[in-house]
Structure 1
Amino acid sequence: MSTHGHEEPEGCADYLERIIYFLDNELDEADCSVVRAHLDECGPCLHKYDLERTVKAVVARSCTESAPDGLRQRVLFSIREVHVQITES
């Protein structure tokens, strides 16, 4: 593993953005190959990738729970209030 990320952080900036797209499966196969190759060579970017992947997994697990009915009703009521205020303005 090289320290590419420490030597040329500006070179990694593009990869850090692409990592998000890579995690969301929004890159074509050619771009995926480029990102994979960079991750194989750059420890700091690989660390960022692992961190982003972990955060996404935790958020995904957390999003499976439903809000209690009382909370949902209060949120919907608040949204309707704001909508009425906006349309009356």
Structure 2
Amino acid sequence: MGTYISRRDDTDPDEGTKEYGDVEFADPTNNKYPIDTEEHVRAAWSYINTSSNAAKYDAEEVDAMKGRIRRAATKFDIEINED
């Protein structure tokens, strides 16, 4: 799942690093949706499944981010509801 995510003009990747530090993100290009803790994984899943957030990406990018979030969820024994 190495799909490249395009750089967005409406966000600053440095903000994600400043707020969360050097962590893994579901969107590593723009440093959005940190997936380094159980709380962040749950939040990332919720946010990327919100239509207004997902609409900022193309379908392949959303699928790639969801895959990263799912993999992070397994590390924390989080069951992901696909609905």
TM-score under structure 1 length normalisation: 0.30
> Relative to total residues, which structure has the larger strand share, 1 or 2?
2
- Select the structure with the greater relative contact order (CA < 8 A; seq sep ≥ 6): 1
* Structure number, greater radius of gyration: 1
TM-score under structure 2 length normalisation: 0.32
